[in-house]
C-alpha cells in the first residue's frame, strides 16, 4: 500500500486460530441451518436468528467458538458487512467462508466498519477483530480495489476527523505532498506571495487567518501511459476551518466546520486510488488549503476580488468562500487542457437539503461523463445524483460593480447557483464534473462510523476506471 496508515483490521498470514464468517439471506436460512451440526442449528433457532440485515450470531462448539454468521436480509453492497468488526470478539482472526457471494464487497465493508479515529485518545482497549485475506499479493483485482478503496477512505476520514488546530492549511498541503511523493508523484506546495500572485481569489479567502493559505499542485503519469495519455485534473476545496468570515456562522453551524476541507481530502484519496491502480492517464491534482477567519485583514462583504481567470468577483457573502477557492484552481487546471476535469467540495447546505448526507450532488457540462459516474455509483453503492446546470439562472449572478457576484439574492437553488459560478471558470469545451459533497456521517451505521466520510470517491474512481478501460480497448 502506498499511502496513509495501515489497515490494521486486515492480515495476510494466519495468526493462531482462524474462524470462518458465513453469510446467509432469509430465503436460504432454513437450508443453510439444516446443513449445520444439530447443536448449532438449535442454538440459532433458540436465539431468534432470522438473517435480517446486519444480524450477527456467534456459533458455539465444544471447544468454544466455531465461527459466526451474518444475516444479509435483502441488502446488497458493502455496508452490511461493516457490522462485523464491532460484533466479533476483539483480537480474533476471521476469514470469509467459501460461499460468500461477493468477496470484494465483504472485504470493503469489513474494513470500512473497522475504522476508528483513535490517535488523540489514550485508548487501552484490545485490538479489534481482523480479517485474513490469503495471498494478499496475488488476490483478485476486485479485492485489490476494495483494499485500495478502504485505505483511501481511512485516509480521507482521518484528515476530516482531525481537529482544525492540528490540521491547518500548511499541514494539509504538506501532508498531501508527502503522501503523493511517496506514491511516485511530483508534488509542490505553493505558499507566501506566490499564492497571492497566482491564486488571488483563494488568497483573499485565506488572508484573514494567521495561518497562511497554501496550494498543493501534484502531477503523475502512469508507468505504462504514453506522453499523450489523457489528462485527468482534480481540484479540491481545502477550507481547514470555516467561520463564515464577516458573514459569521451561528455557533451550531460552526461545530463541524473542521470538515470543510473534505473536498480536498476526497480529492487526495481519489488521486491515491488512481496512482495505486496505475490507471493509464496523466494526473493533475490541486488542493486549495485555507482558513476562512475574521480579522482586520479578512475580506469584507462587497469587496471586489481579482481571479486567476481575469474575471472580477463581488463578495456578496463571505461565507460563500469555497467557490472562491475553487475558481482559481479550476482556471489553472484548464490551462493544461485536461480531457476530464473534476472538483470536490463541501460547498452548499442546499445540496444536503435536496439529497441528504449520503448522496453527492453531481453537476456536469458533459452528459456522457455524468452518465459514467451515475452508473458507477449505482454499481458500487456509492450514490451520486445529477442536478442541472440550468443556464436560465446564470443571470442571477449578474452584478453592477464586477463581472459577477459570488452569490445571488434569490433564496433557492443554492447548489445550482454555486455550480453555475464555478462553470464561469471552466474553459469552453472542457469535460467537467462538480461534486457537492457532505463528507460526514452524522451517526454511526454499519460500515459508516460517525465522522468524516469519503463521499463519492469510489463512484468517481470507478467511473474513471471504466472510461479509461474503454478508451484503451479502442
Residue 397 to residue 423: CA distance in whole angstroms: 12
What's 240's domain CATH number? 3.40.630.10
Does one domain contain both 285 and 420? yes
Cell numbers found for residue 220: 503523475
What pLDDT is attached to residue 119?
Answer: 87
DSSP helix/strand/coil, 306: coil
Expressed as residue numbers, the domain containing 443 is 145-473
Is 249 among the residues known to form the active site?
Answer: yes
Do both 320 and 460 map to the same domain? yes
The pLDDT value recorded for residue 4 is 60
* Pair type for strands 404-405 and 451-452: unpaired
End-to-end C-alpha distance for the chain, whole angstroms: 31
Distance (Å, whole) CA 87 – CA 128: 9
Q: Which residues are within 8 A (CB) of 360 and not within 5 positions of it... i.e. 6 or more apart?
A: 351, 383, 384, 385, 435, 436, 437, 438, 455, 456, 459
337 and 366 in a common domain: yes
Q: Please, what is the Cα angle at 373 between 431 and 336, to 5 degrees?
A: 25
131 and 172 in a single domain? The answer is no
**Do 164 and 97 reside in the same domain of the chain?**
no
The C-alpha atoms of residue 454 and residue 156 are separated, in whole angstroms, by: 6
Residues 101 and 154 placed together within one structural domain of the fold: no
Question: Number of structural domains, the chain?
Answer: 2
Q: Are residues 107 and 182 in the same domain?
A: no
> Could you tell me if 117 and 214 lie in one domain?
no
- Residue 452: inside a domain, yes or no? yes
Given the residues 249, 306, 386, 466, the one annotated as active site: 249
In a domain, 319, yes or no: yes
Pairing assessment for the beta strands 93-96 and 18-24 based on DSSP bridges? parallel
The pLDDT of residue 1 is 35
Active-site entry in 130, 258, 282, 323: 323
Residue 194 neighbours by CB under 8 Å, 6+ apart: none
67 φψ region: left (φ > 0), alpha (ψ -120 to 50), beta (else): left
Instruction: Give the Cβ contact number of residue 445 at 10 Å.
Output: 15
Residue 158 grid cell: 482521518
Q: Is residue 406 part of a domain?
A: yes
Question: Which residue has 489514550 as its cell numbers?
Answer: 122
End residue of a domain, out of 116, 137, 158: 137
Q: Are residues 113 and 152 in the same domain?
A: no
pLDDT of residue 474: 45
Residue that is written with C-alpha cell 488521486 in the block: 271
In a domain, 1, yes or no: no
Give the global pTM: 0.96
Give the three cell numbers for residue 102: 461477493
Question: Does 466 map to a domain?
Answer: yes
Tell me which residue has cell 470543510: 260
Query: Does 37 share its domain with 154?
Result: no
CA distance 341 to 329: 11
Look at residues 137, 169, 203 and tell me which one is the last residue of a structural domain. Answer: 137
Over its length of 474 residues, how does the chain's per-residue pLDDT go in tens digits?
345 678 999 988 777 789 999 999 999 999 999 999 999 999 999 999 999 999 999 999 888 899 999 999 999 999 999 999 999 999 899 999 988 999 999 999 999 999 999 889 887 777 789 999 875 556 789 999 999 999 999 999 999 999 999 999 999 999 999 999 999 999 999 999 999 999 999 999 999 999 999 999 999 999 999 999 999 999 999 999 999 999 999 999 999 999 999 999 999 999 999 999 999 999 999 999 999 999 999 999 999 999 999 999 999 999 999 999 999 999 999 999 999 999 999 999 999 999 999 999 999 999 999 999 999 999 999 999 999 999 999 999 999 999 999 999 999 999 999 999 999 999 999 999 999 999 999 999 999 999 999 999 999 999 999 999 987 664
CA angle 266, 429, 408 (to 5 degrees): 65
3-class secondary-structure state, position 345: strand
237 belongs to the catalytic site: no
Kindly state whether residues 195 and 321 are assigned to the same domain. Answer: yes
Same domain, 230 and 252: yes
CB-facing half-sphere around the CA of 206: CA atoms within 13 A:
29
Q: What is the CATH number of the domain that holds 119?
A: 3.40.220.10
Q: Which residue, 137, 159, 186, sits at the end of a domain?
A: 137
- Tell me whether residue 275 is in a domain: yes
In a domain, 19, yes or no: yes
- For residue 5, being part of any structural domain is answered with no
Q: Whole-angstrom Cα distance, residue 112 to residue 471? A: 31
Radius of gyration for the alpha carbons in the chain, expressed in angstroms and rounded: 24
Place of cell 468577483: 313
Amino acid at each position: 500500500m502506498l499511502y496513509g496508515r495501515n489497515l490494521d483490521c486486515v492480515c495476510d498470514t494466519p495468526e493462531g486460530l482462524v474462524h470462518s464468517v458465513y453469510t446467509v439471506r432469509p430465503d436460504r436460512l432454513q437450508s443453510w441451518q439444516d446443513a449445520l451440526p444439530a447443536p448449532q442449528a438449535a442454538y440459532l433457532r433458540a436465539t431468534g436468528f432470522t438473517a435480517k440485515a446486519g444480524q450477527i450470531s456467534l456459533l458455539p462448539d465444544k471447544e468454544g467458538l466455531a465461527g459466526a454468521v451474518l444475516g444479509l436480509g435483502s441488502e446488497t453492497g458493502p455496508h452490511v458487512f461493516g457490522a462485523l468488526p464491532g460484533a466479533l470478539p476483539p483480537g480474533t482472526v476471521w476469514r470469509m467462508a467459501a460461499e460468500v457471494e461477493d468477496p470484494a464487497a465483504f472485504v470493503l465493508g469489513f474494513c470500512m466498519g473497522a475504522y476508528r479515529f483513535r490517535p488523540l485518545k489514550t485508548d487501552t482497549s484490545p485490538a479489534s477483530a481482523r480479517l485474513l485475506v490469503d495471498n494478499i499479493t496475488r488476490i483478485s483485482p476486485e479485492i485489490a480495489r476494495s483494499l485500495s478503496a478502504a485505505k483511501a477512505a481511512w485516509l480521507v476520514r482521518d484528515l476530516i476527523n482531525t481537529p482544525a488546530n492540528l490540521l491547518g492549511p500548511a499541514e494539509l498541503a504538506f501532508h498531501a505532498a508527502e503522501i503523493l511523493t511517496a506514491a511516485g508523484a511530483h508534488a509542490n506546495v505553493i505558499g507566501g506571495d506566490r499564492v497571492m500572485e497566482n491564486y488571488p481569489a483563494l488568497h483573499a479567502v485565506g488572508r484573514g487567518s494567521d495561518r497562511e493559505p497554501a496550494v498543493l499542485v501534484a502531477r503523475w503519469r502512469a508507468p505504462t501511459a504514453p506522453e499523450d495519455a489523457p489528462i485527468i485534473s482534480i481540484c479540491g476545496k481545502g477550507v481547514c476551518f470555516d467561520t463564515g468570515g464577516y458573514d459569521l456562522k451561528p455557533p451550531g453551524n460552526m461545530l463541524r466546520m473542521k470538515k470543510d476541507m473534505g473536498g480536498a481530502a476526497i480529492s487526495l484519496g481519489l488521486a491515491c486510488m488512481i496512482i495505486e491502480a496505475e490507471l493509464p492517464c496523466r494526473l493533475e491534482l490541486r488542493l486549495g488549503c485555507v482558513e476562512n477567519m475574521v480579522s482586520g485583514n479578512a475580506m469584507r462583504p462587497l469587496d471586489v476580488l481579482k481571479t486567476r481567470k481575469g474575471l472580477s468577483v463581488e463578495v456578496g457573502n463571505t461565507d460563500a468562500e469555497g467557490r472562491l477557492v475553487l475558481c482559481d484552481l479550476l482556471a489553472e487546471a484548464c490551462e493544461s487542457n485536461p480531457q476530464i476535469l473534476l472538483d470536490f467540495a463541501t460547498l452548499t447546505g442546499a445540496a444536503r437539503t435536496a439529497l441528504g448526507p449520503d448522496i453527492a450532488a453531481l453537476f456536469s457540462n458533459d452528459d456522457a461523463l455524468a452518465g459514467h459516474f451515475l452508473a458507477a455509483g449505482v454499481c458500487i453503492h456509492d450514490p451520486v445524483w445529477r442536478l442541472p446546470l440550468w443556464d436560465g439562472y446564470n443571470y442571477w449572478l449578474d452584478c453592477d460593480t464586477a463581472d459577477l457576484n459570488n452569490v445571488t439574492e434569490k433564496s433557492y437553488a443554492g447548489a445550482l447557483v454555486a455550480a453555475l459560478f464555478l462553470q464561469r471558470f471552466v474553459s469552453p469545451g472542457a469535460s467537467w464534473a462538480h461534486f457537492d459533497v457532505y463528507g460526514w456521517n452524522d451517526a454511526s451505521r454499519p460500515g459508516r462510523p460517525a465522522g468524516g466520510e469519503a463521499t463519492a470517491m469510489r463512484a468517481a474512481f470507478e467511473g474513471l476506471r471504466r472510461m479509461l478501460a474503454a478508451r484503451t480497448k479502442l
